[in-house]
């Protein structure tokens, strides 16, 4: 279906929808045809009235939903609404990646617009909105698994690039300067767990209680109404590489695992592992000679 007739006028619809089946369509504005991320995001910033409009079929007739736009803020604005401490580069990387994966193309269509809208609603409140695709349920699930190119344990850790692909998530220390400064005053392994744990909570995650074990600093955390368990090994990075010689999952055989994460976290971890619902992460703090600073997370499994 290329167009809809409403009150005798024909309106072009955004392609690849199922309006006859769903009774919902996206109508194109004459001055803007949805295409790639940069143009769509710029439109939402500059003139959101140009975005596609909802049309619904009632009693056999199509009608436009007046004064209701699908998106009331930019895509990065939606990401920031849920993940308040993401750096600007991560906000852009996550929004771009979600846009491109919404319909498995860097050119958006009706199905992709619906996936975008439903995903943002789920991120804001997973108890009231279903996720359209499980791999989009959280930005951590959208991260690529890092490639280990050597057996030395060293992994390259270049900073995020706002114009590049999603490789990592960065939380901006200026958003939580008190916690960041407290950590830098006493950068122990325990305080590293405290810092990153507090940042996770600020961004909607639920971290299991910290243990006093200082060796192998680790956090286990979840997100409300999601069944994934995240296992995060922590470290402090000065420069552009992180060293990790333990393959993901090997921690389950660590005799000190309970001391590292606590009984409740270990129970949740083993249950999720049996269901193949554990995501293995690396993260911590990173500073570089240029003065760049971050609390970061990458995915290793």
pLDDT in tens, 38-56: 999 999 999 999 999 988 8
pLDDT at residue 68 in the model: 85
* Paired residues of 293 in beta bridges: 287
pLDDT score of 116: 97
In this predicted structure, what is the pLDDT of residue 152? 66
**Same domain (yes/no): 180, 57:** no
Structural domains counted in the chain: 3
- 58-71 residue pLDDT tens: 888 888 887 789 99
Same domain, 147 and 272: yes
Q: Looking at the structure, do residues 221 and 124 belong to the same domain, yes or no?
A: no
Q: Are 53 and 29 in contact (CB under 8 A)?
A: yes
The verdict on 249 and 269 lying in the same domain is yes
Residue 182 sits in the same domain as residue 275: yes
pLDDT confidence of residue 178: 98
Q: Are 39 and 51 in contact (CB under 8 A)?
A: no
Out of 136, 167, 189, a domain closes at 136
Look up the domain containing 26 and give its range: 3-64
Domain boundary among 105, 136, 167: 136
Are 201 and 289 in contact, with CB atoms under 8 Å apart? no
**79 and 180 part of one domain:** no
Which residues, other chains included, contact 7 with Cβ-Cβ below 8 Å and sequence gap of 6+? none
Same structural domain, 126 and 223: no
Instruction: Let me know whether 53 and 117 are in one domain.
Output: no
| Domain match, 165 and 273 both | yes
Mean pLDDT, residues 250-272? 95
The answer to whether residue 70 is domain-embedded is: no
pLDDT at residue 149, as a whole number: 63
Answer yes or no: is 32 within a domain: yes
Cα distances from 79 to residues 48, 76, 149, 218, in angstroms, run: 17, 5, 32, 26
**Secondary structure element (H or E) that encloses residue 176, with its range:** none
**d(C-alpha 34, C-alpha 44), whole Å:** 11
Place of tokens 């108890």: 127
Residues 201 and 265 in one domain: yes
User: Mean pLDDT lowest for which of 152-166, 170-184, 204-218?
Assistant: 152-166
Q: 281 falls in which pLDDT band (50, 70, 90)?
A: very high
Does the structure show a pLDDT above 80 at 141?
yes
pLDDT value, residue 97:
97
pLDDT score for 179: 98
Report if residue 287 sits inside a domain: yes
In a shared domain, residues 108 and 182: no
The answer, yes or no, to whether residue 119 has pLDDT greater than 80, is yes
288 within some domain: yes
């Amino acid at each position: 279906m290329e167009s809809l007739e409403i009150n005798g006028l024909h309106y072009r619809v955004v392609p690849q929808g199922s309006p006859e089946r769903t009774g919902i369509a996206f109508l194109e504005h004459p001055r803007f045809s949805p295409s790639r991320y940069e143009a769509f995001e710029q439109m939402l910033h500059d003139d959101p009235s140009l975005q596609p409009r909802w049309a619904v079929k009632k009693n056999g007739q199509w009608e436009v939903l007046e004064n209701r736009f699908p998106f009331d803020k930019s895509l990065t604005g939606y990401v920031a609404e849920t993940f308040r401490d993401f750096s600007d580069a991560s906000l852009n990387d996550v929004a771009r990646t979600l846009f491109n994966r919404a319909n498995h193309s860097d050119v958006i269509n009706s199905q992709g617009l619906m996936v975008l809208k439903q995903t943002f609603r789920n991120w804001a409140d997973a108890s009231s909105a279903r996720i359209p695709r499980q791999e989009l349920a959280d930005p951590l699930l959208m991260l690529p698994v890092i490639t280990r190119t050597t057996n030395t344990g060293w992994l390259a850790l270049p900073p995020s690039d706002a114009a590049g692909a999603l490789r990592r998530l960065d939380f901006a220390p200026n958003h939580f300067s008190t916690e960041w400064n407290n950590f830098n005053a006493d950068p122990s392994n325990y305080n590293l767990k405290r810092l990153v744990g507090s940042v996770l909570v600020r961004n909607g995650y639920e971290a299991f209680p910290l243990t006093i074990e200082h060796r192998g600093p680790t956090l286990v955390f979840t997100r409300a109404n999601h069944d994934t368990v995240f296992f995060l090994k922590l470290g402090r990075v000065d420069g552009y590489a992180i060293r990790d010689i333990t393959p993901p999952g090997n921690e389950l055989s660590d005799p000190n695992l309970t001391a590292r994460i606590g009984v409740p976290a270990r129970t949740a971890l083993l249950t999720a592992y049996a269901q193949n619902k554990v995501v293995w992460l690396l993260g911590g703090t990173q500073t570089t000679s240029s003065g760049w600073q971050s609390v970061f997370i990458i995915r290793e499994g």
